[in-house]
């Protein structure tokens, strides 16, 4: 996910301080991994340098001065373009797990063990996500569903690969 564009889009409704942007981001998107303040301010600095935001004032308080940022017309255009551009589907045509299976077959190690270990790891994560989904709000449920669907597809691939290991072994050794 693009943190810079997410922060930029969060600025669209009204000017905000970096602290307010961090809080809004964390509430909606962090899912247990809050943004570091340094990342927020470094991102705002880049957006400012690139003309996508501008300072909308500075408030003085008991602590350091608090800059308010607002999105520029160029920033609105950038957000609009980003939101309307589809993400690239990423078929993992050759991933690390496939590489491990092939290398196990080439070395005489058990590719079944690799697949079984991976299956157990996937199932453990799926159980955790299922618990989180049951306890979560609608946003959590949707996020967990997305991850679960991907993990289910991985499990189908693991099963298919396990069924084809003999043929794959012959193919990679010839």
Question: Per residue in 140-168, pLDDT tens?
Answer: 999 999 999 999 999 999 999 999 999 99
For 51, phi then psi, to 5°, come to 75, 15
For residue 59, give both structure tokens: 């408030």
Looking at every residue in the chain, the average pLDDT score rounds to 89
- Look at the chain and report how many structural domains it folds into: 2
- pLDDT score at 91: 64
Give the pLDDT of residue 92: 63
| Residue 91: inside a domain | no
Sign, Cα dihedral of 34, 139, 7, 25: negative
Domain residue limits at 169: 96-173
In a domain, 130, yes or no: yes
- The predicted pLDDT at position 93 comes to 54
In a 13 Å sphere around the CA of 3, the CA atoms on its Cβ side amount to 18
Is 48 in the same domain as 80?
Answer: yes
Q: Final residue of a domain: which of 84, 114, 139?
A: 84
Tell me the average confidence (pLDDT) per consecutive run of 10 residues in the chain, 174 residues long: 88 92 87 87 96 89 79 94 78 72 86 92 94 93 94 93 94 85
Q: What is the pLDDT at residue 157?
A: 92
Domain closes at, from 84, 115, 143: 84
Residues 67 and 14 in one domain: yes
Same domain for 142 and 77, yes or no, is no
**Burial tier of 52 (Cβ tally within 10 Å: 0-12, 13-18, 19+):** buried
Domain end, chosen from 36, 57, 84, is at: 84
Three-state SS for 17? strand
Q: pTM higher than 0.75 for the full model?
A: no
Residue 64 lies in a domain: yes
């Amino acid at each position: 996910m693009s943190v810079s564009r997410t922060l930029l889009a969060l600025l669209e409704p009204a000017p905000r301080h970096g602290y307010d942007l961090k809080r809004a981001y964390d509430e909606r998107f962090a899912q247990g991994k809050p943004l570091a303040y340094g990342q927020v301010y470094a991102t705002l600095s880049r957006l400012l340098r690139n003309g996508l935001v501008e300072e909308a004032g500075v408030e003085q308080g008991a602590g350091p001065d608090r800059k308010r940022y607002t999105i520029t017309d160029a920033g609105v255009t950038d957000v609009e373009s980003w939101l309307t551009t589809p993400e690239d589907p990423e078929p993992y045509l050759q991933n690390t797990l496939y590489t491990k299976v092939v290398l196990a077959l080439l070395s005489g190690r058990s590719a079944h063990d690799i697949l079984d270990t991976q299956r157990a790891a996937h199932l453990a994560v799926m159980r955790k996500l299922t618990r989180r989904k049951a306890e979560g709000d609608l946003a959590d449920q949707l996020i967990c569903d997305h991850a679960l669907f991907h993990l289910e597809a991985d499990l189908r691939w693991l099963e298919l690969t396990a069924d084809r290991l003999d043929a794959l072994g012959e193919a990679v050794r010839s």
